[in-house]
Every structure is written in C-alpha cells, then in structure tokens.
Structure 1
C-alpha cells in the first residue's frame, strides 16, 4: 500500500508540472505507460491491466489540487466552487485550463505583489501610455502586471472593447508580440515569417493562377 501511494504521489507531482487538469484520456495514457514500463504493476483480472491505476490516479490528482489550492495556486483557485454559478456549482462545470501552446497559462503574482498593488500599476499605465518616448517604462510595467492580466482574462473573459479600455498599452505591435511570447514562449514575428517562408511558394502559385490586377 505504501508503495502504491508513493507511485501515485510521484506521478501526480510530474503530471501537474505539465497540466493541473489533465483529460480522462491523458490520465489513461499515464496509467497505461506505467504498467507498460513496469509489468509487475499490471493488475491481474483487469481487462486493460491498468484500470485501477487510472481511477486511483484521478483521485490522487483531485487531492493534489486541494493541496495546491491551500497553497494559493491561482489556476486551482479560479476553478474552485466558490467561483462558479450557484446553479452549476459542480467540480466538472466550466473548468478553465490551458489551450494548446499556452505555457504560462495562469502565472502567480510576482513576489511581494497582490491584486491591489498590481491594479494600482494598471491605473498608472493609463496615464503613462499617453506619454511620448515611454516605451521602456511601459514594457517594464506590462511585464510586471502580466499575471494580473492573465487572471483577469481567465476569470472574467472580458469583451475586447472593455479589455482595450483597461489595457490600452497592450494594443500595439511591441506589446502584443511581447505578450504572445510571455504566454507561449514563442516569438510571434519570427514564427509568422518562418511559416510564411514555408508556404510562400504555394502562395505564389495560387496568385499566379489569378488573372487581372491580382495575378
């Protein structure tokens, strides 16, 4: 029993490094990989040999998320029952989790900062964005308020018009590319131009088939 608990603890710790809310299929893949790598752990009499491991791992992950919530993990807190509608207050309803390529999905606040202090910086941003030759100061303030912005997007899902009113500094090329890199760790312009180069020959062939001015 102690060995099984230790195995489940280790698996849960590794899984949450990648996803706090893995899908059912992903949990099954982990359980299947476990018994494939260690045949001695295969369950006798089980159709798959890992069904029990899958169920135990799902319960272990649920318990692990409770610990993360007590430690203040923002992604778990945003998905807590207290933040869900009263008529749909179930753990499975509306779970907010990263989409593909969202590496920094819901970061924690910088050390020593809180929602209140970061909101004050956001208010100062509304004044500083009007100043000329102020790009470096804006960049530093936008970097510092990244977690505040992300939690706002995930929690409230604001309309673009409302979001632009609150964060006008974000809607310029420099800050959009910086925000994209903060979320995905990928350079937006470099990725765009590399993909454009990969498809340029096909685009030229398509354009060449068109007549008139477009061709």
Structure 2
C-alpha cells in the first residue's frame, strides 16, 4: 500500500489517507524499532522518527501541518505510551520500575520521577537471566556477603557472584535505597575493583582508563581556565600548578589537575578523600594484633 501511495504521490502529488488499521500497523512497527534503543524516547527523537517516516514515504505527508509530520509525531508519542503500558504489564523491568505501584509516596503520578537510562547506560535495568529468580539471586547475595566477611577473601568468587547478581542489584539501586542500607547488603560493591567492574557492566566502558583519558585530553583547556582564576583560590591554584610545571610525571600532573579543579569548584581538599581515609583506618583497627610474649 505504501509503495502504491508513493507512486501516486510522485505521479500526481496525491497524498495517502491511511485507514486507522494501516496507521496503527505503521506506528506499531515504528514502536517495535524504537523500543530496541529506548523505552523513553525524547521529544526530538520522536520528531526525527516522524520526519524519517515521511521522507521515506512522502505520500504520508500531512497537508494541514507546517512541517508535514506533526500528526505522526503525536500519534507516535501516544503509541509509545501504550507500548510501555503493555511492557509494564508483561513485567519488563525497565518499564515496570516506573509503574505507579513502584513509585514513592507522594510521587504516584505517571510523569513523576521517571527512571530511564542516561547517556552511555547499556544495561540500565537488565532482565534476570533465564534459569534465575529473585529468590535464587538472593541466596547468591547472602553467600556473597559471607565471602566478603572472610579474612582471606576469594576475589574470583566475589567477582563471579557480583556478575551473577548484577540484575538484582540494579533493580534495587533504581528503587533509590538508603546508602547505609545498601552498603550493608552489598559491601563488595564499595571496593575499588568492583566499582570499576560495575561501571563496565553498566556501560561496557572501563571507568579508570576512560576517566584518565578524558582528563589528559582536557588538561590543556583546564589549565587555561585555572590560570584565569583570581583571588585566594587563584593563589592556591598557582601554587599547585608550579608543582605540575616542575614535573614530567603523568601521575603528578593528573593529581595537580584534580586538586586545581577541586579548588576551582570550592571543594575542601582536606576532606575530599576523608571517607576513604576513614575506611582505611577502620581496616587497620580490625586487624588482629600479633601475640607478644612477655
């Protein structure tokens, strides 16, 4: 039908007036493609899809609108809303987390506090793997908690269980729990190595190398910004910059840039890593003291 409509448009400039059934089929196909990328397309993304549709099938252009596809954009927006409702009823996790029953008290309206992937999120809210259930993953979480508390931890076991319970953990995170409660349930996640691995699971991008690479790329631009800072903060920055200028060590340069950035943003350098220092002190305090023979 669309091919015939396009031929008629090219020959006589005749626009196609699709029946409700044909229009619904077109929108359904578009929604199925959009959902492969995101369940919550932005307004400009819907406009791009509607524009592409009318470019591919000019017979679907709308005579009564300024740009020729306002109606298709509107219909597509409604179709995606209906599509999300179907997915939520089917238990699709990325959509189900935004159902009214899962919203906090006082936010139980459709548009309130919508949780959706940020740029770079690949595994925003993954499905629980086939053969697993929430109960089986909870058993794994408890076993993981036991392993973390051991004096001689098996890092390979911890890594395997953290990978296996990723879907359960992501669904819990999206419910925005208290950090203290989450720390008690998932203490392994607060280890530096697991932070890097969790970032990789979520985005498929290595955190440390990506961060340092971007920091090195922006160092020259940041340096120019730092040099223009005045006042007391500017004096502190210049003192740090002198250290950077006198060293060729890349690690020293990175340290200086981060310190200057903290000063520029009015962060207190003395408390910037306080939590890490406290954690290290706690580890030292719980180490068993050697027996001393008197």
TM-score, normalization by structure 2: 0.66
Match of residue 138, structure 1, among 130, 151, 158: 158
Question: Are positions 1:27 and 2:55 aligned together?
Answer: no
Q: What's the offset of the Cα at 1:172?
A: 1.3
Q: Secondary structure at the match of 1:138?
A: helix
Counterpart of 1:210? 238
Task: After TM superposition, list the pairs within 5 Å mapping 1:69-80 onto structure 2.
Answer: 69-80=88-99
**1:82-132 CA deviation, whole Å, 9 max, x = no partner?**
223565433222221111211110001111222222122111111101232
Question: Are positions 1:45 and 2:46 aligned together?
Answer: no
Counterpart of 1:84? 103
Q: Secondary structure at the match of 2:63?
A: coil
In structure 2, do the counterparts of structure 1 residues 120 and 214 end up closer, same or farther at CA, with 3 Å as the change threshold? farther
Quick check: 2:159–2:194 contact (8 Å CA) kept in 1?
yes
Greater Rg by CA: 2
Counterpart of 2:198? 179
In structure 2, do the counterparts of structure 1 residues 74 and 47 end up closer, same or farther at CA, with 3 Å as the change threshold? same
Counterpart of 1:10? 29
In structure 2, do the counterparts of structure 1 residues 126 and 55 end up closer, same or farther at CA, with 3 Å as the change threshold? same
Q: Secondary structure at the match of 2:238?
A: coil
Moved more, 66-75 or 87-96: 87-96
Q: Secondary structure at the match of 1:111?
A: coil
**What are the ranges of 5 or more consecutive residues in structure 2 without an aligned counterpart?**
1-18, 228-236, 244-294
Counterpart of 2:82? 63
CA RMSD of aligned residues (A): 2.3
Match of residue 161, structure 1, among 180, 185, 201: 180
In structure 2, do the counterparts of structure 1 residues 41 and 148 end up closer, same or farther at CA, with 3 Å as the change threshold? same
In the alignment, the residues of structure 2 paired with residue 90 and residue 173 of structure 1 have an alpha-carbon distance, to the nearest angstrom, of 38
In the alignment, the residues of structure 1 paired with residue 101 and residue 42 of structure 2 have an alpha-carbon distance, to the nearest angstrom, of 22
TM-score, normalization by structure 1: 0.88
Aligned length: 213
**What are the ranges of 5 or more consecutive residues in structure 1 without an aligned counterpart?**
none
Question: Are positions 1:120 and 2:148 aligned together?
Answer: no
In structure 2, do the counterparts of structure 1 residues 169 and 53 end up closer, same or farther at CA, with 3 Å as the change threshold? same
Q: Secondary structure at the match of 1:62?
A: helix
Bigger relative contact order, structure 1 or 2 (CA pairs below 8 A, ≥6 apart): 1
